[in-house]
């Protein structure tokens, strides 16, 4: 789709890594002219492919921020509107936003450029490979997973991203005290998330009652969320903290 170096690769990990059960489905839907222009112009500066072939130097990647600035990983950002709003509200925090949706990648870069947001970087590919191969230990101040695919059919539950093995993997790059923030409007998935996070020794619930959290003010209400609320869905937030080993 894009000449080398001017946009996200179709399969950045290629044959470097074993295929596994994926929690996402790559979508190569139509890219608008504005999104394509943003990708061509900004990808070399603000984008990266998750190829699993190198460990990222996060202070260098977010070179406009102080070397000790907190970096948060967001997995699955849709069209990027909420991500851009969070970046604008907290310019001192770097957001490494990971997704496989090309139009969304282009849209987030476009929004960042239009709003002068220099604290956003866009990662293209499998977040599991990013966590496993490319992030240094204790390098992240937070992890955000908002409205992941609920995979509602029982035979597909193994594809849900919030699983014990995923939390094992995320524990390495998450620094002690890092905040893990998940949100979903699918009640059975919310209950599973709560159970899995509660049972994992690397994380503790920030809520004294051990339950769900109120939506923090810093998480914007998204269009997707508004649609779910309009259909009578209940949105659940989970806020857990990485504990010291």
Q: Which residue has the tokens 């193994």?
A: 158
Decide: 35 and 107 in contact? Cβ < 8 Å: yes
Which of 2 and 44 is assigned the larger pLDDT?
Answer: 44
Q: Are strands 203-205 and 120-124 parallel, antiparallel or unpaired?
A: unpaired
148 in helix, strand or coil?
A: coil
- Backbone φ and ψ for 87, nearest 5 degrees, come out as -65, -40
| In the predicted structure, residue 20 carries a pLDDT above the cut 70 | no
Report CA dihedral (24, 27, 32, 37) to the nearest 10 degrees.
70
Give percent of the chain above pLDDT 70. 91
Mean pLDDT, residues 152-174: 95
In sign, the C-alpha dihedral spanning 236, 120, 127, 175 is negative
pLDDT at 239 over 60: yes
pLDDT at 227: 83
> Looking at residue 26, what is its pLDDT?
56
Tell me how many helices (H) and strands (E) the chain has: 8, 8
Supply the residues annotated as catalytic: 149
Q: pLDDT, tens digit, for every residue of 54-65?
A: 999 999 999 999
Over 80: is that where the pLDDT of 217 sits? yes
Which pLDDT score, from 0 to 100, does residue 216 have? 94
In the structure, what pLDDT confidence band is assigned to residue 23 with cuts at 50, 70 and 90?
very low
Residue 151 binned pLDDT confidence (cut-offs 50, 70, 90):
confident
Specify the pLDDT at position 182. 98
Are 194 and 211 contacting, i.e. CB atoms less than 8 angstroms apart?
Answer: yes
pLDDT of residue 43: 97
What value does the mean pLDDT of the chain take? Answer: 91
Dig out the tokens for 199 from the structure: 């049972």
Q: What is the pLDDT of residues 83-94, one digit of tens each?
A: 999 999 999 999
User: In 3D, which of 141, 102, 94, 158 has the Cα closest to residue 121?
Assistant: 94
- And the tokens for 148? 């992941």
Per-residue pLDDT averaged across 128-143, rounded? 97
* Of 203, 27, 56, the residue nearest 129 (C-alpha): 56
- Backbone φ and ψ for 40, nearest 5 degrees, come out as -60, -40
pLDDT higher than 90, residue 8: no
First to last CA, the chain: 44
For the domain 38-242, what is the CATH code?
3.40.50.150
Q: Is residue 125 pLDDT above 90, yes or no? A: yes
What global pTM score does this model have? Answer: 0.91
């Amino acid at each position: 789709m894009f000449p080398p170096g001017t946009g996200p690769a179709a399969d950045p990990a290629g044959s470097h890594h074993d295929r596994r059960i994926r929690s996402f489905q790559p979508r190569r839907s139509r890219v608008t002219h504005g999104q394509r222009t943003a990708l061509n112009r900004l990808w070399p500066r603000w984008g990266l492919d998750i190829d699993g072939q190198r460990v990222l130097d996060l202070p260098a990647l977010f070179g406009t921020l102080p070397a000790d600035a907190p970096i948060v990983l967001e997995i699955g950002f849709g069209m990027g509107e909420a991500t851009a709003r969070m970046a604008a509200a907290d310019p001192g925090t770097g957001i490494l936003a990971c997704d496989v949706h090309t139009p969304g990648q282009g849209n987030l870069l476009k929004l960042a450029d239009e709003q002068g947001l220099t604290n956003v970087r866009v990662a293209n590919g499998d977040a599991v490979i990013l966590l496993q191969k490319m992030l240094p230990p204790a390098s992240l101040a937070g992890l955000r997973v908002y409205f992941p695919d609920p995979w509602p059919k029982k035979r597909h539950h193994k594809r849900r991203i919030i699983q014990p093995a995923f939390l094992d993997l995320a524990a390495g790059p998450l620094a002690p005290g890092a905040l893990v923030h998940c949100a979903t409007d699918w009640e059975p998935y919310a209950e599973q998330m709560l159970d899995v996070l509660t049972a994992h020794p690397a994380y503790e619930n920030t809520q004294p009652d051990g339950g769900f959290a109120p939506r923090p003010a810093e998480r914007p209400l998204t269009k997707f969320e508004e649609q779910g609320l309009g259909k009578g869905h209940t949105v659940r937030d989970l806020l857990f903290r990485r504990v010291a080993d």
